[in-house]
Structure 1
Amino acid sequence: MSKRRWNGWLIARLVLSTAVLLVMGWITLLIWNPWGDDVEQKVDAAALFNTAEHVPYKAGLPNEQGFQLFAESDRLKLLVDPATAHFQVVMKDTGKVWRSYPDPTHWKDEKATGTWKNQLTSPIIIEYVNANNYKASSVSNGLIENQGYLEDFKQTEKGFTVTFAFPKIQFKIPIEVELDNDYVETRIKDAGIVEGSLSLLNVKLYPLFGAEPSVGQDGYIVLPDGSGSLIQFQQDRTMQQLTYNESVYGPDASYYYEYTDRQRIAMPVYGLKSGDQAFIAILTQGESFANVFAAPSGSIGSSNWVTAEWQYRKRFYQSVSKSTGEGFYTYSGDRFNTDTRATRYYLLGTEQSDYTGMAAAYRNYLINERGVKPIQSPRKDIPFFLDLVGADIEKGLFFDSYLKATSTDDAKSIVSRLYDSGIKNQQVLFAGWQQDGYSTHGGYFPVDKRIGGNEGMKSFITFAHSLDIPVYLTANYTLNTNGDDGFWWRRDGLRNMAGTVLEYKPKNHDQDASDYVSPGFYKKVVESDLKNFKALGADGIDFEDGITQQVNTDYNSRYRASRGDVVDIQQQIVQETKEQLGSVAASNANFYALDQLDHIHRLASDYSYDVFVTESIPFAQIVLHGLKTYTLEWSNLRDEWDDEFLRSIEFGAYPTYVLSGDHADDLRRSYSLWYYSLNVNDWIDRIQEEYAKANAALAPVQDRFITAHRTLAPGVKETVYDGGYRIIVNYNETDYAKDGLVVPANNYVVREGGTQP
């Protein structure tokens, strides 16, 4: 596929010695500032530390007799040890205790030694590096190794404030802890951070909060990995030094990322259950700059623990030769600053102490504090989500060829066939309608004449509306392949820390790379295009694979945007789209857009298969059901037809297919759609059968929350909705029978109300 790119002069190949690399590294680190005048100055911090006036932090656990009552709510009490700044949260009706440090009952059996044992008792763990030396390795420490101390410890109305001082390495980090009715919240105040000559990389604040060993404990860690996953507590775990550490809202393409093929974190949450008590942590501020870090027992200490790792700098590759690829890894100079980085720990009572209880707490937070509104008055039948593909292109010897798959007249025919078969509640997402089809991005309007043009699309949408069927037009504004919309890759492309314009390299190697677009630029394009969507009568935009999914820092001097800025830009785009068109959908979206989205398409339904992870859970689906509609992967892309259909029933997801007219065979030569089976004639009977089954099971609970989810036996799952409505799914090759309940092999049953077996 051709690109309109500026073909400047060729730069002679640089031949660099080690000495030149060192000089370039020095220049990059000490002089180059991609953020313009907003230079963060290092301070001469030595004068700010006075160890003579402060008692060095001591190794070991705090004395539990020294805790004092600092704050109290209707449900909870906050007890604090002023000597260590550790705290306890006590549930008043049960006496259950959550500690910010390891459980003293098992501390004598702790197998970690030396530095790591000290770090496990520290209220804060930091990682830092000498960024002036690009060969330097990072170092991780707590307060004890650095003769750290507490500074300005003060009780407040709801808790306390304190600054953690590290005199040997010259860091100061101010924090707050406050109690509310059903949660305790910890905060790092970025504006008060002090750095000396070294550079702060990340901070783990109260990393052992709620941690418990596996001994005698029935528990697990909940990770927001894909749809959600569990790390079950396990004694004598054979795996050592295996931890989970992934970025909230996915990796940042502007920095180094070790590709692991892990699922993206869409939800800024994590949790831990131990026995009959549990907590869920929600990152409520600054979450764009956080990782979720989990350490199963045996990896780092004997406890199972999970925490937020707040990022302040990341590695990036500083290229010094585009032609040879030569360069070196180093760290960003300035910190990632945000006002506050907050973790809110909701403490769950005995009846809610599992992952469904955690999901319910997160759902309530979204409703009460993020303005997410539950589904109101659903239609009698469940929605069927129909993806249509207009066209794509194939690479030719001299020119690309256009491959028409579905004209707007074909779209009318497909919708009519499904409607006449009994599927009345359709929602259409039309992709590949733009100039040159599905693989082409930039200059979306007008609709390509070869599938019907603007008038054809208007006519189709009017026809769909006559059947009470909404139509979304699918678009990806984060890529540009043709230079349209006034896009020039050198001026308007997304740049990484090294100043390189980033490219998306498709799986199909015949296709040229696409340029990533600066968020500041694509915001202007979407805002300009909204009037065109409205003129066609579109009910909304289906943002595919970009907006609400990708959060990449932009170092383009025209549009520079931090990771937090990009989240804000995308939230504004989604909000403006909702206001102008009335509705918005997005594929596998991050939850920061949830208040404006009406539908999440192709939501993750699996996890990343780390060896220490026990199983996948529908955590995201439990949160969403009754709030937003969602689907899983397109049904006609399933690898295991029966199991994945059963999973959609278990997860409460609605059916979706991607289809085209009878030109689908031509798409085998296309850039992006060659691996899809799209011909409507091949799928119409299967669609009717699947929809009828899904509708019978899920129609009664469209606006109900999921209240429980559990494993009844290996391969047998139960999902419970408000009112006691139960769906039991059997993935086994044999029938499941217990206490009068029989579920046939590879099938499911529905039970309305009644007691659970």
Structure 2
Amino acid sequence: MTKRKWNGWLLVRLAFSAVVLVITGWIAYLVWDPSGSGQEGTASAASLFDTAGQSPYKAGLPSEQGFKVFAETNSLQLLVDETTAHFQVVQKATGNVWRSYPNPANWKDEKISGAWKNNLASPIVVEYVNAKNYKSSSVTNGLVENQGYLEDFKQKDNGFTVTFAFPKIQFKIPVEVTLREDYVETRLIDSGIVEGELSLLNVKLYPLFGSEPSTGQEGYILLPDGSGSLIQFQSDRTMPQLTYNESVYGPDLSYYNEYTDRQRIAMPVYGMKSGEQAFLAIIAEGESYANVYAAPAGSVGISNWVTSEWQYRKRFFQSVSKSSGEGFYTYSGDRFVSDSRATRYYLLGPEKSNYAGMAEVYRNYLIGEKGVTPIKSVKPEIPLYVDLVGADIEKGLFFDSYLKATTTDEAESVVRQIHERGIGHMQIHYAGWQQDGYSTHGGYLPVDKRLGGNQGMKDFIAYAHSLDIPVYLTADYTLNTNGDDGFWWRRDGLRNLAGTVLEEQLNPDQDASTYVSPKFYRKVIASDLDAYKALGADGIDYEGGIAQEVITDFNSRYSASRADVVQIQRDILQQSHETLGSVVASNANFYALDKLDHVHRLTGDYSYDVFVTEPIPFAQIVLHGLKTYTLEWSNVRDEWDDEFLRMIEFGAYPAYVLTGEQAENLRRSYSVWYYSMNVKDWLDRIEEEYAQANEALAPVQDRFITDHRTLAEGVKETVYGGDYRIIVNYNETAYVQDGLTVPANNFIVVKGGA
């Protein structure tokens, strides 16, 4: 087991550990407010509801004749029904209509009944609970079931505002709908929310926007699941009751999360195509507190629909005994409050009504509003990304053993051998260089002397620079295993809502790693950056939590909401970039894109839900021409041929994880379990794969992907700028069509639009 170095803390502290844990947990639960807002209006909520003279919300859909033009742009019209607060958006060039409610032409065929039929027609659906009774169950309802009504409906420039009142459950929720040049935006106004005795869990605002049934048209729901996936419109599906509901930017480990093994949502987007029209929804504000909820036809009504589910409270486990594991599930006290919560619906006509058109919208949004700059200059050849592993540790009889794999001298040899194969454009990520190697976190600097120390690293980086090759040092500051950097787990560990310090244990033979409070690791990184610069490093390769995990911190010393953690990580990336000149992150959430120069090991997979009909490279279509990216390391692939072809199809660059000649030692290590990393075993394959990838992708390094489609089963086409196509054939037989032949398990490049 790893011997933690707690550096002199008196044993008497341990005697009070249980008391400290319980007190901290209950203080966090009782007084911590992630927004600083408390509960506006709770005590006097009942007095704010005067139903006299109010018209209760009626069941059913609004009359199509009751809509009036409220706003207009060069391309769109906004029509509103003042009696229901529902709206329509009309695309002037095509006459296409997107409704905020189900298509009336199919409403008579709706099979779902009772409360949920009323919910489908409601402009707002809420889920709530009696949080004072931990045994109570949550309830989901719309306006009709709660005898709700519209309050303070007002037309404004380019839209309207309205407050949805729920007198039976004493909620008031103000919203705003605004028309812009090419999108309509729906917004929740958190500062005006009123709650009574019950607790608001989540809100779906205009959940059926753009919804359509499967019959009579082709279409699909676009999910931001991993790299992207589609749910094709179908009338008969396997397990039709299943829905999709996942948190944007991944689960928050400080709350209860049902284990689904799904890919993380890195992009706050979703969309739908129906016939010759489509929309892309971008959760533009408050996305840290949003879920993407999708209901394919047959799961909740006959329509296919997808929406933002805005979170206000989450469930968590309140432990009462750490030794026995006893406790109970309840909900967080104060609701999450965001400065704003807004979803934009960008409307696409026939020529752009596909997922490539949706990706173009999101790419333009990232460039125009999030400061992501396109690639401006490229070298003649594509880059090869080489990850080097310095060392790791393994379990010993009394003490852990150090397993050396790549010294700084050997790292120089690895780079030289690859360079001698004619590959001059490389980028090096050096991992496991810290004290005690890859599995050890905390006290990263100086470089372990057994690998060459600081001087050895300086010499290696200088050698790489002589070949115009940048070197990034890989680190994960979100975990601590040894107590270095002045870290004490009780004081500086990240705590969940129950007050428990969070841990991660990837290997049962090793002590668990402790999650570090984000505000603490921000200080540590800031103090380390000059040391990285002194080594000559071109940047840091952030592996692990930064840009990937967003976890609320209930440590009273460092309390940070989910939105705070996003900003802390963005600040870290910005400071790293300013100090070192560049920064890389693995499989990053897209809130980090404007701070990154490369996204490493971007997922190229999806979650394999039974209702998903097709995985797509949506993230890669968005990114190509904006940022370089790789998929999984080439030499750890499960299916060599298919995953190589996927790399070509997705426009990704090759990446390998390598060591010097001592790779065999790492088979017994805690974290580096890959058996084949010796550079000598891979030189021929690297040279061959790089040549193939370079031939296909070098001419389009700075180009956007403008289209992607399936030509036949197992045959995919990726288009760059309209005049450069790569066709990939995953089949065991050749694909022959329109004078083109793509050999089995291979690809071809078609230039000039031929």
TM-score, reference length from structure 2: 0.97
2:567 alignment partner in structure 1? 568
Paired letter, 1:619: F
Deviation at 1:367, TM superposition (A): 0.3
In 1, Cα distance between equivalents of 2:701 and 2:319:
52
2:30 alignment partner in structure 1? 32
Quick check: 2:29–2:332 contact (8 Å CA) kept in 1?
Answer: no
The DSSP-based 3-state class of the residue aligned with 2:52 is helix
1:449 alignment partner in structure 2? 449
Alignment of 1:188-337 (within 5 A): 188-337=188-337
In 2, Cα distance between equivalents of 1:608 and 1:681:
35
1:431 alignment partner in structure 2? 431
Deviation at 1:28, TM superposition (A): 6.0
The DSSP-based 3-state class of the residue aligned with 2:146 is coil
1:343 alignment partner in structure 2? 343
In 2, Cα distance between equivalents of 1:491 and 1:537:
34
The DSSP-based 3-state class of the residue aligned with 1:273 is strand
1:646 alignment partner in structure 2? 645
Deviation at 1:739, TM superposition (A): 1.1
Deviation at 1:128, TM superposition (A): 0.3
Deviations 1:555-597 (A, max 9, x none): 0000000000000000000011111111110000000000010
The DSSP-based 3-state class of the residue aligned with 1:691 is helix
In 2, Cα distance between equivalents of 1:158 and 1:85:
15
Quick check: 2:29–2:497 contact (8 Å CA) kept in 1?
Answer: no
In 1, Cα distance between equivalents of 2:161 and 2:407:
64
In 2, Cα distance between equivalents of 1:410 and 1:237:
55
In 2, Cα distance between equivalents of 1:336 and 1:608:
28
- Aligned in 2, Cα 1:12/1:651: closer, same or farther, shift over 3 Å? closer
The DSSP-based 3-state class of the residue aligned with 1:271 is strand
Paired letter, 1:208: L
In 1, Cα distance between equivalents of 2:240 and 2:276:
27
In 2, Cα distance between equivalents of 1:185 and 1:448:
53
Q: Is 2:13 the partner of 1:2?
A: no
The DSSP-based 3-state class of the residue aligned with 1:564 is helix
Quick check: 2:238–2:610 contact (8 Å CA) kept in 1?
Answer: no
Deviation at 1:304, TM superposition (A): 0.2
Q: Is 2:724 the partner of 1:729?
A: no
The DSSP-based 3-state class of the residue aligned with 1:51 is coil
- Aligned in 2, Cα 1:489/1:464: closer, same or farther, shift over 3 Å? same
Alignment of 1:550-565 (within 5 A): 550-565=549-564
In 2, Cα distance between equivalents of 1:451 and 1:407:
4
Deviations 1:152-196 (A, max 9, x none): 000011100000000000000000000110000010010000000
1:578 alignment partner in structure 2? 577
Deviation at 1:235, TM superposition (A): 1.0
Deviation at 1:9, TM superposition (A): 4.6
The DSSP-based 3-state class of the residue aligned with 1:52 is coil
2:45 alignment partner in structure 1? 45
Q: Is 2:463 the partner of 1:463?
A: yes
Deviations 1:262-291 (A, max 9, x none): 000000000000001000000010000000
Alignment of 1:700-719 (within 5 A): 700-719=699-718
1:99 alignment partner in structure 2? 99
In 2, Cα distance between equivalents of 1:152 and 1:38:
24
Quick check: 1:165–1:171 contact (8 Å CA) kept in 2?
Answer: yes
In 2, Cα distance between equivalents of 1:265 and 1:747:
31
Quick check: 1:13–1:321 contact (8 Å CA) kept in 2?
Answer: no
Deviation at 1:73, TM superposition (A): 0.5
In 2, Cα distance between equivalents of 1:511 and 1:621:
36
1:511 alignment partner in structure 2? 510
Quick check: 1:251–1:551 contact (8 Å CA) kept in 2?
Answer: yes
Paired letter, 1:105: A
Deviation at 1:12, TM superposition (A): 11
In 2, Cα distance between equivalents of 1:423 and 1:315:
52
Paired letter, 1:316: F
In 2, Cα distance between equivalents of 1:30 and 1:586:
32
2:626 alignment partner in structure 1? 627
- Aligned in 2, Cα 1:348/1:94: closer, same or farther, shift over 3 Å? same
Paired letter, 1:525: V
The DSSP-based 3-state class of the residue aligned with 1:594 is helix
The DSSP-based 3-state class of the residue aligned with 2:514 is strand
2:522 alignment partner in structure 1? 523
The DSSP-based 3-state class of the residue aligned with 2:491 is helix
The DSSP-based 3-state class of the residue aligned with 2:595 is coil
The DSSP-based 3-state class of the residue aligned with 1:53 is coil
1:383 alignment partner in structure 2? 383
Structure 1 residues 475-484 or 395-404, which shifts more? 395-404
Deviation at 1:398, TM superposition (A): 1.1
- Aligned in 2, Cα 1:532/1:336: closer, same or farther, shift over 3 Å? same
Deviation at 1:4, TM superposition (A): 3.5
1:753 alignment partner in structure 2? 752
Deviations 1:94-115 (A, max 9, x none): 0000000000011110111001
In 1, Cα distance between equivalents of 2:261 and 2:28:
34
In 2, Cα distance between equivalents of 1:219 and 1:4:
58
1:689 alignment partner in structure 2? 688
In 1, Cα distance between equivalents of 2:17 and 2:654:
55
The alignment of Structure 1 onto Structure 2 pairs a total of residues equal to 744
Deviation at 1:490, TM superposition (A): 0.4
In 2, Cα distance between equivalents of 1:700 and 1:713:
26
In 1, Cα distance between equivalents of 2:468 and 2:47:
71
Quick check: 1:607–1:616 contact (8 Å CA) kept in 2?
Answer: yes
Quick check: 2:642–2:745 contact (8 Å CA) kept in 1?
Answer: yes
Deviation at 1:700, TM superposition (A): 0.3
Deviations 1:648-699 (A, max 9, x none): 0000000000000001011111111123421111111110000000000000
1:610 alignment partner in structure 2? 609
Deviation at 1:2, TM superposition (A): 2.0
In 2, Cα distance between equivalents of 1:514 and 1:715:
43
Deviation at 1:31, TM superposition (A): 7.7
- Aligned in 2, Cα 1:176/1:13: closer, same or farther, shift over 3 Å? closer
The DSSP-based 3-state class of the residue aligned with 1:109 is coil
> CA RMSD of the aligned region, Å?
1.6
Deviation at 1:239, TM superposition (A): 2.2
1:64 alignment partner in structure 2? 64
Deviations 1:462-484 (A, max 9, x none): 11111111111000000000000
In 2, Cα distance between equivalents of 1:4 and 1:161:
58
Quick check: 2:29–2:498 contact (8 Å CA) kept in 1?
Answer: no
Deviation at 1:248, TM superposition (A): 0.2
Quick check: 2:725–2:753 contact (8 Å CA) kept in 1?
Answer: no
In 1, Cα distance between equivalents of 2:745 and 2:598:
29
Quick check: 1:492–1:521 contact (8 Å CA) kept in 2?
Answer: yes
In 2, Cα distance between equivalents of 1:518 and 1:231:
38
Paired letter, 2:531: N
Deviation at 1:30, TM superposition (A): 12
Structure 1 residues 440-449 or 37-46, which shifts more? 37-46
Quick check: 2:28–2:555 contact (8 Å CA) kept in 1?
Answer: no
Paired letter, 2:32: P
Counting aligned pairs with the same residue, the percent is: 73
Quick check: 1:43–1:194 contact (8 Å CA) kept in 2?
Answer: no
Quick check: 1:441–1:479 contact (8 Å CA) kept in 2?
Answer: yes
The DSSP-based 3-state class of the residue aligned with 2:47 is helix
Deviation at 1:238, TM superposition (A): 4.4
Alignment of 1:141-220 (within 5 A): 141-220=141-220
Paired letter, 1:660: T
The DSSP-based 3-state class of the residue aligned with 2:387 is strand
The DSSP-based 3-state class of the residue aligned with 1:145 is helix
Deviations 1:611-634 (A, max 9, x none): 000011000000000000000000
The DSSP-based 3-state class of the residue aligned with 2:605 is coil
Deviation at 1:40, TM superposition (A): 3.0
Quick check: 1:710–1:717 contact (8 Å CA) kept in 2?
Answer: yes
Paired letter, 1:387: D
Paired letter, 1:34: W
2:111 alignment partner in structure 1? 111
Quick check: 1:239–1:298 contact (8 Å CA) kept in 2?
Answer: no
Quick check: 2:37–2:337 contact (8 Å CA) kept in 1?
Answer: no
Deviations 1:37-67 (A, max 9, x none): 8643632211101111210000000011010
Deviation at 1:34, TM superposition (A): 2.7
